[in-house]
Structure formats: structure tokens, C-alpha cells
Chains A and B, each alone.
Chain A
Amino acid sequence: MEKTNTPKSHSPVGESKPRIDAREKVTGAALYADDIQFGNKLLHARIKRSPYPHARIKKVDLTRARALPGVKAVVSGEDFSGYIGLYLKDRQIFCRERTRYVGDPVAGVAAINPEIAEKALGLIEVEYEVLEPVLNPEFGASPQAPLLHPDLGQYVVASFILPRPGSNISNHFKIRKGDVASAWKKCAAVIERKYRIPHIQHAPLEPHVAIAKVDESGEVTLWDSSQSPFAQRDLIAETLGISQSEMRVIAPLVGGGFGGKAGVSMESLAVAIATKVKGYPVKLLLTREEEFYTAFVRQGLVATFKMGCDKNGRLLAMENTFYWDGGAYTEYGVNITRAAGYSCTGPYEVPNIKADSYCVYTNHPVGGPMRGFGMPEMHAGLEQCIDELALQIGMDAVEFRRRNCLKGGSILPTGGKMHPTGLSECLEKAAEAIDWGKKAPPTAPNKRRGKGLALMWKAPAMPGNAGSSAWIELAEDGMLTLGVGCQDIGQGAFTVAAQMAAAAFGVPYESVRVATPVDTRYSPYEWQTVASRITWSTGNAIINAAHDARQQVLDLVAKAWDETPADLDIVNGMVVSFKSEREIPVKDLAIKGLPKADGKGWMGGPIIGRGNFMPADVTGLDPETGQGEKAVVHYTTGAQAIELEVDLDTGRIDILKGVAAFDVGKAINPDMVKAQMEGGLIQGISSALFECLQLKDGVVQNPSFVDYRIATSADLPKSVQSIIVEVPQDDGPWGARGIGEHSMVPTIPAIANAIYDAIGIRFEGPPFTAEKIYLAMLEAGIVKG
């Protein structure tokens, strides 16, 4: 197809363009890390793991394993030094003195096939001295708890993380604002509630996989399923004591991330083993069981909320305490604690605040980032309290939220002011779509019907200087190749990136290719594909790169035509002049430039544009008060509403209708924004009704899809409505901000509020299983024993 002849269309931004990766994924042509062939030198790695939640390693004997034919390398903690971690370097690649969770890596094997590697694990002899475990974050934070990281004071830590050496608290974030103690007296109603949110797992279709190879000169190549190739380059290189340029990460398509493939987790194991078998690629592929308890899990949370309002329903004070069950290592989780701290009020203006968010070491699986980064867990209780407080003063829950929710200019818990936000519009639209205030009869006599609603907010949680970059190259055919370092984890990042590049440069969407797979040797830098920051941050870098390339084209043509660049534009791949009405296809000058007017020589040359972006104005917060000018770059806000029925015979919940309304600033691709809203709602429903890592004495009891249930298509609401609200972000590309994670933040409390509306019962936490509901109804006399 002759791209430059494509008829003039609207800007590719704001159009629901088909996904750039749809065809390869649907046909099965798409390449994932496990698909890459490495030939007969490939070695397979397996990991010897601690069977105890907390133990001292007395002795590791690798002799018998090393003697097994087919085994090429056996390593343990003694072979490596140093620590690894994103915000707090508290993790060893292989355990040295101590193991801290069931599954903690003690030794590793590389062999010619997985069977021999597995057999070798059985020949590794480890002697443990079992230690008392910490299995509860509240106990873990107390002085009575055994100390899990005696070296906490020596760990390298980011400036905004505040560990308490000598305790199990690896971060304590505080907000002290106004005067909470005297505010209670002014309240017409005060409630105090406690919630427990269980651990859950990301459960991606594709488990973690990493293939590492170290060549003779010591240069490392890592192929893996990753949201964070650049962060892995940085962190793994540093831990191994090599330079970042000697570490190359190639990240093909990702079969589901949800945060679990951010930062560094099992990838460092593959690299460490590969350093002992230079020249051999070493593959480590987690089994589903390992995925459940040795990859990141979503942290557990014990949260207490105290909040009060005056008789008009105005929120006067909140006192919130969060104990995060960070697990054995909190290198990433410490920042979830911080995010929950600075967002502790939910999307409401509250003048008096006292908040303490503690990240606590326990002997549970390692907590890490998961879609929502602490917000679904925090909002789960908070948004139920809002309903309860409204009920207590006799006010409709939507009216209560209407009065208190953040508007542009509202004062934030950290002290700064809220930017313009469509939260109120989201609230109104969600309430309208669910027919708020109208009670419909149940569909059968043995059902009870209810409605619930919840609001949310979430900011990208990241260092203030998390950067993005992009480049753009033109080819002879006028096609534009876009280099980005962000990852498409199914959210559609590459599609949106191509749309933005096309719009910013002036070609149709179909004229853009994205240079994949992301390869840290050739792709431009990207901090990580996390925090719902890609459309916003990478988008800005793409605009800058496109404008850079575009300027080069316009300057060249202006010179050739003796016009000024301001009179020129690029439309559908054609450079056009408004002044002279001349035009020339971009492809005619993309590589070979243009001849000089006098025919003697050439000007221009291959066009390549570059752009970067880094937020410039995020400030630190006072460690004692949590106050500062600008805590985060922005907040995405939104609302969800649920209508459901409870079955009185079984306790089962049927979600009849789900409504989502989010302020995305600008929907670059409306269908994909809606897909994010639907996907988040479904994952939210799944986490509200079914999902729970059942931990007993530190052991996950249900590490398989047989007993870790996730929602299937049959469990989804019959009706889903997704509403896009667009109040532009001043520094967002076309006004856009993120939506990837936000869509599962308010689901648990919206469902909990609907359950209360249906049967008048509240629970300490999800999942709201049929059994839990039925037994509670029995207790309440709603059904008979």
C-alpha cells in the first residue's frame, strides 16, 4: 500500500485504532521469551528453595549435586555477595546466613535438561536451624517480634524511604496535618473500623521466565518476560559488580504482568547461575506453583480507619493506620507503603489528618507491586467507612461523596493543591448509570438485591525523576520507526505510542512501526512500565522525538523552497506549504535529503529525532509531617458502581451490573481505555469474590488454579458500562493521564457496599466467598441453620 496516498483523516489520537500487535497475537506468531530458541547449548536451571518460613542456614553441601552427570553448575549464597532491590537493597540473590520465606532460594542448578536439574536439587543437602517466624504484620512491628533483618540499618535505601533499624519496620510514612485530637470533638459522627486484606497473586497467563548468557568477556545478555528491562540492567549489573553497559536486557512480548514482572525478582537467579557457565544460555522458567509463592505477591494489609464528620456531612478528621505485610523482602514494597500513606484519605478533602503507614517484614512471600500499588487494598476499607459515616448521619452515600470529594484546588493530604479533576463528573455519571437511589426487585424470591458505589484516586508512585525517552527514524518508504523502552504488557502501550507518534509527526497511524522487542542496547531508556505512567511519560517523550524529527524535515524543506518552517506542515506524510501550496512526500527526503537549488550538492540527511521527558517539579515530603509542595505528578480519579444479588440458598453473589467512570484526561484510544476499565473491573471482581493466597504457617495452601480461583467469563456481570471523562492534564500528551491500574481500585468497596445494601452485613475483608456470606447470613438470622 502506498502509505502517503492514504486519504487525509482525523488525527490518529482520540481514535479507536486497532491494536498494533493484534494480528501476531491472534495468529500465535507473537514471540514470547520462552519461545526463543537457543540451540543445544541451552542449560536449564532449577532452584533449591527453603522449606521453612524462617531458618538459619547451618550448612549447604553441593558435592553430590555437582557429581551428577549432566549438571553444569551448582551455586549457592557463598558464590555471590551484595544485595539487590529497587528502593531498599535488602535482598540477596541466593540466601546466605538465613532464609526468610518458604521458597527463598538457597541454591541453584544448571543442567542439560530440566529433569537432571530437578534431580540435582534432591542431592543438595541443606541443614537448617528453624527460627520463630513472623506471620502477622501487627506482631511483626512490635518489639516482641523476632528481628528478621538485623542489618536493616546498613541497607542502601532511597532518600524518601524511612526504615527503622532495630525493628521489622522497613518504612514508616507519616502524615501529621491539622489537629486531629481536637477535631473529634467537633464531629457529629465518628466511626472506627478495622479491615484485613489478604495476599493475592497476579496470576499472569505466562509465568516468569528468564534466559541469561554471559560471554567470555563477562558481558551479560538477559532475555526475559519483563516490565522493567532498564531497571533490571541497572540493578543486576550493580549487584554483580559489572557496569551497566556490560548488561543487556532483551524483553520480548509479555504474557501478562500486572506489576509482577516489574523490578527484579527471579531474573537475577538466572544471571547469577549463568556467570558460572560462561558461553551457555541458562533458562529459568517458573512453574505455576513457584509463580504463586516465589514471584511477587500483593502484600497483605491490616488497616484501621477512624473518621469523623460534622452534621452537614463535611469530613473533619481521619486517623488511619496501615500495617503492610511486606513479606521477607520489602525492596519494592516499601514504596507501596509510602503511596498508601500520601493517599491515605482517599479522594477527599480532610483538614485534620494523622496517618501512619508501616511496611513490616514478615516470613511471608515477597510483597511487590501489583495493579493499583496499594490503592485497592487501602480503598477497600476506606470507601466502606465513607458509606458507614454517611449512614450514621443519615445522608445518602452519593450526596456525602459529592460534598467531600476533591475538586480542582482542594487541599491534598500532603499539603499541595489538587489539579483540575473530573472526579465529581465521574461520581454523577456512575450514580446515574446504576440508577442510584432506585431499588429494583430481586430477580427471584430467594435473592436479595443491592447497589454500591465507591470512588478512588491514584497517583503514579515513582521516584520524582523517573525518566522516559524515545527516538524516531524515517525510512525510504516514508514509514516511521518509533523506538521506545516501555513495554506492552497487554495494556496496549505500543499501539498508543504509535498513535501519538503518528499524530505528533503528521503521518497516518498505519505508517508507524514500533521497534520491538525492547532491547536495552538499542531501545531508548525507560524507567519501568509501571505506575500507569507510560501514556503520560513516554507519550511526552514521543511527542518531543516526533517534533524533533518533524522540525528537521520542515527546516530542510523550508530551506529548499526558500520559505519559513512556520508556513509548513506535515499532513498524512506530505510536507505542505500554506503559503506556496507546494507539497512533497516526506519519503522523498527522509534518507537522501534534497538537492541544493543550484544543483551543486545536497542538503539534509537521514532524519532521526530524539526526545525525552522527566517530571521536574516533584518535591520531597517532610519525614515527620508528610507535608510538601508536590508529592506526585498527578492523580487519576474515578468511580465504580455495582449492582448485585446475594443468593440466600448458597450465599453466592451475582454481579448484575458494573459501571466504571474514570477521568483519563484524554482518551488517546477510547476502545482501549474502555478495555482497561473492563479488565480492571473484572480483576477487581475476581479479587473481591474469589482470590486469596491461603497462608498457613507461612506456607501457601493453594498454589494452583485448582484452588486459587480467578473469575471466569461466566462470573462476569451481564452488563458493564464504561464511561470516559476527560478533564485534561496540563502536562499530559493531548491532556492524557493513566488508567491501567485505577480501574480495579474501587471494586472491592463498591461490592462490599452493595452487599451491605442487599443483606445489611459487613465483613472484615475480602474475598466475599459464598461460604463467608452464607455463614454470616446464618449468624444474622437471615437464613436458617
Chain B
Amino acid sequence: MTTHTHPTLPEFDYIQPKTLAEASQFLAQHPDEARPFLGGTDVFVRMRDGFLTPKFLVDVKNLDGTNDLRFDPQAGLTLGAAVNMNRVIASPDVQEHYPLLAEACRLVASYQLRTRATVVGNICNASPAGDTIGACLALDGVLHVHGTGGLRREPLATFFLGPGKTTLKPGDIVTAVSFPVPPKGCAGAYLKLGRNKLSDLSLVGVTVLGSPDPGLPSRFRFRIVLASVAPVPLVAAQAEAVLAERAVAPESIRQAAQLASEASTPIDDVRASARYRKLMVRNLTEMALTEVWKKLQK
């Protein structure tokens, strides 16, 4: 039982490093006391609620390249860590080549929040409910990580370890996330179910990305990623496999949706029951796959 009523933020020191090296060094030197932050939309709330009590908040927003949003027809898209979601949504390159990412960003919180919130922040926060993570996984996102040992690349597929837990080590700063050029003719959808229509956290989120793939028996490849129904953003691999092997049709879509539902391991909480969530994984996956399949046939 709690009567903690959270009047103020706990005290902390704000650190604004000048270079990435300096930032990594500081973070590495204070492994249990320092925390990097971007828009702060999550970290400040969690600090006020008493879940986080960092001694130092290290602002990594203004470091080299973190404000860049770049698209190259060969190399693909790079989103700097500090690029806010409204910028992502407004980018013509994103709209043309990565509409799924823009769609996912649009369903995050509210416009006001999205002027602060970042895609990289959403990823590093590693909440299973993160609305943009599904799109980033489906689009084969790769993180650019600056650590004490210099720069390295970290694929998103193996990044998430648990709620709020990732492979990042003290001193690591994600400077950007990049995406290869999406497969030709691909189409995507993100369906989010909240309690009301606007600004809720997702009770269930389903991301689907489909693309023609002549190498597969079904000639189509689907990526399916589920939000809020497992300790980490969940790739529904068995469901993806069914759609790779069997001809894409209402029946195989239903089967895939059922498999996605079975793969999910949601919990009961104040937002929804596990039972409802599992049912909604099935229904939303079927809806999302049907929608994407329709787009692919055009």
C-alpha cells in the first residue's frame, strides 16, 4: 500500500557533455548513478513516481550527429537519437519510403509529447508497450552505439532482454538507429488498441510488414511484431513462418493470427486482462495482415 503522492522530482545533477567520448566516459564512471536521457518523456515521469533515482542525468541530445535525419537511396534511413517523433512524421523521405514508421509514431501519446519523444528513446526505454519498436524491428533497424570502446552496431533483433532491459552497458549511448532500404513493394500496418481512441498506452499493438519474396513458397514475406503482450517486443516467428510456407489467403491469415495469439504471454493489469489481450492479439493480427495483404495485391 502506498500513499506516495509525488509532489516533486528528486534532486539530480544535470550533465551536458560536449563530446560523445566525454559522455561515454562519464556514464561509464558512474554506472549506477548516471543515466542518459533524450526527450525525457519517460525518465522524468519515472523519477517523479520514485521508480528511478539517478544522481546524474546525462543529456545526450546535442552530441555529434544526434540531430540528423538522413536518407540515402542505397544506404537507407538514419534517425539521429535526438530526432523527435514529429520530425519523423513530417519527413517526406520517411513518408515515401518508411510510411510504417510514420504511422507508428503518429500513434504515440499526443502531439505535444511527440515534440519531445524520440524513436531511439522509445527503443532504449525497452518497454514492451513501445509503439515504434515494432516498426523498427520489422524494418530491420540497427542501432549505432557509442561506448567506451568506440562506435559499434547493434541489431535490434537481439537488443531487448526484458522490460526496461537491453544489451547496453554502462557508458553506451545510442546515437542513431538506421534502417536499410525496405524491400521493394512492401506494405505495412500498425494497429494499436487503447482504452480510448487517443493518447493511451497500447493494451495490444500489432505491427505487420509484408513484401514480395520470390524465394519463399508463398512468394511473400511477412514480419509480425506484437506490443504489450510479452516481457519484450515479441516477434511472432511461427505466425511469420506459416505465411511464408502457405499461400496467403484468409485461412492462412487466420491461422497465423491464432499462432501469434498463442505465442503471446500477456499479464493481467489495471489496463486489461491477459485473456482479453490474447484475444485482441488474434483479432488485431488478422486485421493487420488482411490490411497489408490488400495493399500488397494492389
Residues of A at the B interface (CB closer than 8 Å) are: 46, 49-52, 102-103, 114-115, 118, 287, 289-290, 649-650, 652, 689-690, 694, 697, 699, 701-702, 706-707, 709-715, 769-771, 774-775, 778, 785
Contacts and interface: CB of A to CB of B under 8 A. Distances in A.
Given A46-B7, A771-B273, A689 B196 contact: yes
**Which of B8, B199, B203 has the most C-beta atoms of chain A within 10 angstroms of its own C-beta?**
B8
A394 B275 CA distance: 38
Nearest to A46: B7
B287 A49 contact: no
A712 B270 contact: no
B200 interface: yes
A119 B258 CA distance: 52
Given A694-B270, A774-B276, A712 B199 contact: yes
26 contacts: A51-B1, A52-B1, A103-B3, A114-B7, A114-B8, A118-B8, A289-B4, A289-B6, A290-B5, A649-B284, A649-B287, A650-B280, A650-B283, A706-B201, A707-B270, A707-B271, A712-B197, A712-B198, A714-B196, A770-B195, A771-B272, A771-B276, A774-B276, A774-B279, A778-B279, A785-B279
Contacts of A115: 8, 11
A103 B196 CA distance: 29
A694 B195 CA distance: 14
Contacts of B198: 712-715
A287 B1 contact: no
B296 to A, nearest CB: 21
B276 A690 contact: no
B275 A775 contact: yes
A715 B6 CA distance: 30
B2 interface: yes
B229 to A, nearest CB: 14
Contacts of A46: 7
B2 A711 contact: no
Contacts of A690: 195-196
Nearest to A103: B3
B248 interface: no
A102 B3 contact: yes
B5 A702 contact: no
A770 B272 CA distance: 10
Nearest to A47: B5
B165 to A, nearest CB: 21
A778 B4 CA distance: 39
A775 B1 contact: no
Contacts of B199: 712
Nearest to A713: B198
A486 to B, nearest CB: 32
A115 B11 CA distance: 9
B4 to A, nearest CB: 8
Contacts of B196: 689-690, 709-712, 714-715
Interface of B: 1-8, 11, 193, 195-201, 203, 270-273, 275-276, 279-280, 283-284, 287
Contacts of A689: 196
Contacts of B3: 49-51, 102-103
A770 B193 contact: yes
Contacts of B1: 51-52, 102, 697, 699
Contacts of A709: 195-196, 200
A273 to B, nearest CB: 16
A761 to B, nearest CB: 16
A539 B8 CA distance: 43
A650 B279 CA distance: 9
Nearest to A286: B5
B197 A714 contact: yes
A691 to B, nearest CB: 10
Given A290-B5, A770-B195, A702 B270 contact: yes
Nearest to B199: A712
Contacts of B200: 709
Contacts of B193: 650, 652, 770
B201 A715 contact: no
A49 B199 CA distance: 31
A714 B271 CA distance: 19
A234 B5 CA distance: 30
Contacts of A706: 201
A46 B7 CA distance: 9
Contacts of B6: 287, 289
Nearest to A704: B49
B5 A289 contact: yes
A141 to B, nearest CB: 26
A649 B195 contact: no
A694 B196 CA distance: 17
A701 B2 CA distance: 10
B275 A49 contact: no
Nearest to B271: A707
B275 A287 contact: no
B49 to A, nearest CB: 9
A770 B8 CA distance: 35
Contact of A118 (B7, B270, B272, B287): B7
